[in-house]
Chains A and B, each alone.
Chain A
Amino acid sequence: MTDPEHAESVIHDTPLASRHESLGARMIDFAGWRMPVQYTSILDEHRAVRERVGLFDLSHMGELIVEGAAAGDALAGAVVSNPPSLAVGRAHYSMICAPDGGVLDDLIIYRLAEDRFMVVANAANAQVVSDALAERLEGTRAVLDDQSLATGLVAIQGPRSVDVLTPLTDVDLGALRYYAIAEGSVAGIPAHVARTGYTGEDGFEVFVEIGRTGELWDKLLEAVRAADGVPVGLGARDTLRLEAGMPLYGNELDRTTTPFDAGLGRVVKLDKPGDFVGRAALEKVAADGPKRRLIGLIVEGRGIARHGYPVSISERRSGIVTSGTQSPTLGVPIAMAYVAPSDGEPGTMVDVEIRDGRVPAKVVPLPFYRRSS
C-alpha cells in the first residue's frame, strides 16, 4: 500500500523539467508533478497548435500495461468499454467507474498485441486507476504492470505534425489512422507512436522509455521549431481541449459523475458479455436517464464564465459551470456546464452568475471547435 500523505507530499519531475526551465517556462505543481503551465503565452501556444504545430510533455500521465492470455476479458470486467473488441494496433476512449457508476478516471486503452494492452490514465488518478485495476484483475489470468514512472510521453499536435514527424520515424504515418498505435522508432529511439491527442487537431503521442525522453524531446523540438511551432504548456492544453469539447477529470468528470451525465454514454458498452464494475448502477442510469446534462455555453454578455459559477434560467438555479475561458479561436467566452436535462437544448438562453451580475449565455452543441478536413 502507498501512504497517501507521503504520496501527496512528493512532487515528481518529468525527465524534461530542466529543459522546461531553460526554455523559460512558468512551472506549477499539477497532480503531484512539476509541470510547465506556459512557456511564453497561452494564447500564442494555443494558436500555434491550431495553425501550425506544438510539442507537449505528457510524461506525468500514467501508463498501465495489462497483459496475459485473459488480458482483454479481464479489462472488460474492470472498465466500461469492451477492450476485446479492439483490433491489435487500435485504441479507444474509455472510463473506469466505481460500483456506484461514478467515474474514477477517463482513459485511452490501446491494444498493443493480442494479449497486451496499455491503459493511459490521468496523472492525478494514475495511482487510483493502478490500485483499482490491480484489485479488479486479481484472480484473473492477466497481470498489471504499472509503467508510469518508466515511460516518457511527448505529444506533437497540430496540422503540421505529420510533416514534422514523418522524416523522424520509420512508422508509416499515412497508414496510421486516428486512434491507432504502431511500434517503431522516432529519432532513432524505440517508441510507440499513437495518433491520439487532446487538442482537437491531428497529432501524435510518442511513448518511449523514460531515460530517452530528453533525447526525443530535443529532436522533436528542433523539428517543431523548424516548422514554426513551439513547446506548449498545460495552460494551452486546457484551452485547446475545452474548445474541442473534451472533458477534463476534476472539472467535467469526477466520482459523483456518471459517463451518461457527461454525454458519454456511448462509451459504456452495456451489451458486452459478462459483468463489469459499475454495470448495475449504469444500467439504471441508462434506463432512467441522467439527472443532469453536460452542455456547451457561449456567453453573450460581458464576462467569462468560470469553473464553479452558478447557471440559472429566469432566477431558477439550473446548474454549474465546469470549465470556462475566453476561446482563443472563436474570440468569445465559452464554457461547459452541467444543467438540468430539460434546460440543455441547444438554443436555450441561460444566465451565468458572474460575480455580482447575471450574464446571458446560449446553449450550443459541443464541440465549440472542429477542425476542417
Chain B
Amino acid sequence: MSAPSDLRYTRDHEWVRVDGGEATVGITQYAADQLGDIVFVELPEAGRDLEVAKAFGVVESVKAVSDLFAPLTGEVTGTNDALAGEPELVNSDPYGAGWMIKMSVADKAQLDDLLDGEGYDDLIAAG
C-alpha cells in the first residue's frame, strides 16, 4: 500500500489535493485502517477559518476518537455531506468519496511543509 503520488500529506495522516487555489482534504488509507470502522465524522461549516496544525474536526471509529488537523491555513469552502450518512466511505475510499473538506489556500508556501507520497510512505515505514 503506497500513498498516491499526486497528493501531499501531513505527519498527522491527512492528505491534501491542490487544484488551483482550492485544496481538498481527507485522511490517509493508513489512518483509516488504524482507526478501524469509522462511524462518525464531525466537520466544520463552510466559511470557517482554519489555522494550520490546529484541530478542525473529529473522526470516530467504533473504539476511538481522533482529531483532524488542518494541513493548511485557509477558509472552509465545502464539506462532504455524504459522510453524515455514510462515514464508512472514509474506510472504503479515503482518497476519493471519503474526502472531508475543501478549503482555500491562504499561503501556498505552507504546501512546501507537506510530505510527498514517497515521504509519507517513509514516515509510515519508520513506524
Residues of A within 8 A of B (CB): 37-38, 41-44, 235, 238-239, 302-304, 306, 325-326, 328, 333, 355
CB neighbours (8 Å) of B58 from chain A are 355
Distance between Cα atoms of A44 and B37 in the complex (Å) = 9
Tell me whether B36 and A304 are in contact (CB under 8 A): no
A-B contact pairs, 17 of them (CB 8 A): A37-B63, A38-B36, A41-B37, A42-B37, A43-B37, A43-B39, A44-B37, A235-B62, A235-B63, A239-B62, A304-B39, A304-B65, A325-B63, A326-B40, A328-B62, A333-B40, A355-B58
- Cα distance, A201 to B97, chains bound together (Å): 35
**CB < 8 Å: which of B37, B40, B61 contacts A303?**
B40
Q: Is the CB of A326 within 8 A of B39?
A: yes
Verify A43–B42 contact, CB threshold 8 A. Answer: no
Q: State whether the Cβ of B22 lies closer than 8 Å to any Cβ in chain A.
A: no
| Docked pose: A326 CA to B58 CA in angstroms | 15
Assess the B65–A43 pair: CB atoms within 8 A: no
The secondary structure that dominates the B interface is strand
CB distance from B69 to the nearest CB of A (A): 15
Selected from A302, A303, A326, A355, the residue in CB contact (under 8 A) with B62 is: A326
A41-B36 CB under 8 A given contacts A235-B63, A239-B62, A304-B60:
yes
- Least distance between B88 CB and chain A CB atoms (Å): 8
A235 touches B60 (CB 8 A): no
* Cβ-closest chain A residue relative to B67: A355
Kindly provide the distance from the CB of A206 to the nearest chain B CB, expressed in whole angstroms: 27
Contacts of A42 in B (CB 8 A): 36-37, 61-63
Q: How far is B110's CA from A273's CA once the two chains are assembled, in angstroms?
A: 75
Contacts of A303 in B (CB 8 A): 40, 42
Rank and list the top 3 A-B pairs by shortest CB-CB distance, nearest first.
A326-B39, A43-B37, A42-B62
